[in-house]
Amino acid sequence: MNPGRRSFLKTTTLALPTLPILIGCRIHATGGVRLNDIHSELNPTRVHTLARPASIDDLAATVQRHARRGRPVIASGARHAMGGQQFAKNGLVIDTRGLDQVLLLDRDRGLLAVEAGIQWPALIEACNTLQSDGLTRWGIRQKQTGADTFTIGGSISANIHGRGLTLPPFAADIEDFTLLDSNGDLLRCSRTENAGLFRLAAGGYGLFGVIVRATLRLEPREKVRRDVVIARIDEVIPLLEDRIRASHRFGDFQFSIDESSPDFLRTGVLSSYQPVDPDTPLSQGARLDPEAWLNLLDLAHRHRPAVFDQYAGFYLATNGQIYGSDTHQLSIYQADFADILHARSGADRSTLMISELYVPRGGLPAFMAAAADLLRSSGVPVIYGTVRLIERDEDTFLPWAREPWAGIIFNLRVHPSDSGHKRVRAAFRGLIDLALAQSGSYYLTYHRWATTEQIEAAHPRFRDFLSQKSHYDPAGVFRSDWLDHHRRLLGLPV
């Protein structure tokens, strides 16, 4: 170890200004608090302390205190991950959302520096406000779809992606970030400085430290026109390739979820977004409002034969609408949707779990046909699904996008019973097997129902990733339930 580095476990100081413990740090609860993810609600976890630091100094002091006591520490953003990545049983969970400042906009280079607890809507708004003089306008390249309130640190840690037609995952959009590591040091990580940690912490699920600041690579903000068609699954890849040749920048395919129809997973709405003249006025009132979103979600739960026509009708009505290349990526999402739908129907309160599978683009039709058979026989309802393109990840140690793949997202309904959970677990394992049969993969950020064989086949560097974790954090300061689960699954000590 570099003698200039300071360890939480050996010294009383940090490589940061050390404040009195917890001064300025809001402690939401100590002695036991129950947390859960906000979408699936399948990760109830009792942690020792939930802290929300207001500054990096507060964060460092809080981590120092708990590390000395041998408690696991893990960072949490908006709690969208669904595999326990942001929770540590009986440990310290750091809610980073208090670290939400915009630090610098470099208008010459198109770089935006922020604290890592900022969430996407605030970041986009601040970026536009800082350029209100009308000069060169920069905007984000991509963000995740489906929900907006991810933190930037969480987005880096999960290596998210959006619906860019020619984009690799989010790590490619990061110029650098600052990491509070297990030794108490603040390390600037980039492709040229602490490059090993950059590759590990991006897509590293918080296991190599707390990302406290990040610099995003922006691109010129454009106006884009939405083009909408109804398509069959065998047309999707050729159509999207045509759109790419015509300079469309974003796009996806949202497929029918009615298992009683021959169109199940076969027919869908293909939308793409093409840059237009910057003087073209933006369209007004062309977005799905929260009530309409809830109504579609309700239909998807209770009357799936009707939902596709309504959804397709809305999208077809927006054909030709003009949006900002940044703001069109914002979404409608209500975290309390399960309570609302339960109150409407009176039925058992169910939740949703997501999985994302990756297959070679040419194999998409065969995969979807096999998935339709599997899901019909499983009795597990599909509530939402989409197909996107992803380019190869060249930036992280544990890439989920090892090739230019098609990504297929399934949002499955989880009935609140043991048998309901077993059916969904079996369905997701079956879908992973279908992807692996095409030498594909799956996204690690969602459930943790994959088998040992599936993890090792889909993520061949996973054991090496865990070895790197032990190398950089030998005392195990940063630990999560997700990490412990996978260590057990692979026969490694916890």
The answer, yes or no, to whether residue 21 has pLDDT greater than 60, is no
Across the range 234-243, mean pLDDT stands at: 99
pLDDT confidence of residue 386: 98
Cβ–Cβ contacts within 10 Å for residue 189, how many? 25
| The token pair that represents 260 in the structure block | 């009683």
| The token pair that represents 248 in the structure block | 């469309």
Across the range 368-376, mean pLDDT stands at: 99
For residue 301, give the nearest of 411, 387, 147 by alpha carbon. Answer: 411
- 102-220 CATH fold: 3.30.465
Report the residue count for the chain: 494
Share of the chain above pLDDT 70, in %: 94
pLDDT confidence of residue 490: 98
Sorted by where each begins, the domain ranges of the chain are 25-96+462-480, 102-220, 223-458
Following DSSP, what letter does each residue of 99-157 receive, concatenated?
---EEEEETTTTEEEEETT-BHHHHHHHHHHTTTTSSS-EE-S---SS-S--BHHHHHH
pLDDT confidence of residue 28: 57
Name the CATH superfamily for 223-458.
FAD-linked oxidases, C-terminal domain (3.40.462.10)
CATH 2.60.40.420 fits 25-96+462-480, yes or no: no
pTM score: 0.93
The answer, yes or no, to whether residue 14 has pLDDT greater than 70, is no
| Residue pair 478/70 in contact by the 8 Å Cβ criterion | no
pLDDT digits (tens, 9 = 90+) for 419-429: 999 999 999 99
Question: For 104-133, b where at least 16 C-beta lie within 10 A, e where not — what string?
Answer: ebeeeebbbbbbbbbbbebbbebbbeebee
Ranges of beta strands (E only) in 300-456 are: 322-324, 351-360, 382-390, 405-414, 441-442
> Would you put residue 379 in left (φ > 0), alpha (ψ -120 to 50) or beta?
left
pLDDT digits (tens, 9 = 90+) for 381-396: 999 999 999 999 999 9
